[in-house]
Amino acid sequence: MPAGSRVYPALHAIAFLLLAANSHADIAVIVSKDSTISSATTEEVSALFLAKTNRLKGTPLTPIDMINGEELRNTFYRLVTKKSPMQMKAYWSRLIFTGKGIPPPMAESAEDVIDMIIEEPDHIGYVSMEEVNDSVKVLLTVVSSKQSD
C-alpha cells in the first residue's frame, strides 16, 4: 500500500475527532431528587448564580459552582448569565468589595457537585448532562455548542 493512501484515513479520523469535540454538550441544572421544585427558567437560574436571589419558586437554594477555568463553567455562565469569564470575575470582585455578596462555593468536579447536593438538599448546581444520575433531579437543560470564550 503506498504511503499516501494511509494519510487519508488518518485525516478523516482527525476531522471526526475535531467535529466531535465541537459537538453539542448539554448542561444540566440539578437539585436533590427529593426537591419539590420540578423546573426552572434560565432567568431564574441566572438570578440564583448571580446572587440576585437565594430562592427558586419560594424554596431557598444555595448554588454550587465549578472551579474557575473549567470549560463547563465558562459555557454555563456564557449561556445562562450572558457573561464571559472576565465579566464574571469583575462581577464578583465588585459584589465582594461592596459587601453585597460572595461567590458560590466551588466544586472541583461533577461528582463533587452531585455529592454536595446529596449531602445538602438545599443546593443547586450544574453538570454535564452525561454526568447526571438518578440521585439528582434536572430542573433545566442548557443546550450548548462547545465554543471557547
Q: According to the model, what pLDDT value does residue 44 have?
A: 98
User: Hey, what amino acid is at 149?
Assistant: D
Q: How far apart are CA 39 and CA 57, in angstroms?
A: 9
Strand partners, 134: none
The domains located in the chain, with CATH, are: 24-142 (3.40.190.10)
- Find cell 487519508 and name the residue: 8
Q: What is the DSSP letter of 52?
A: S
Taking 70 as the pLDDT cut, the residues of the chain under it are 1-24, 145-149
pLDDT digits (tens, 9 = 90+) for 61-80: 999 999 988 899 999 999 99
pTM as predicted: 0.80
The three cell numbers locating residue 31: 437539585
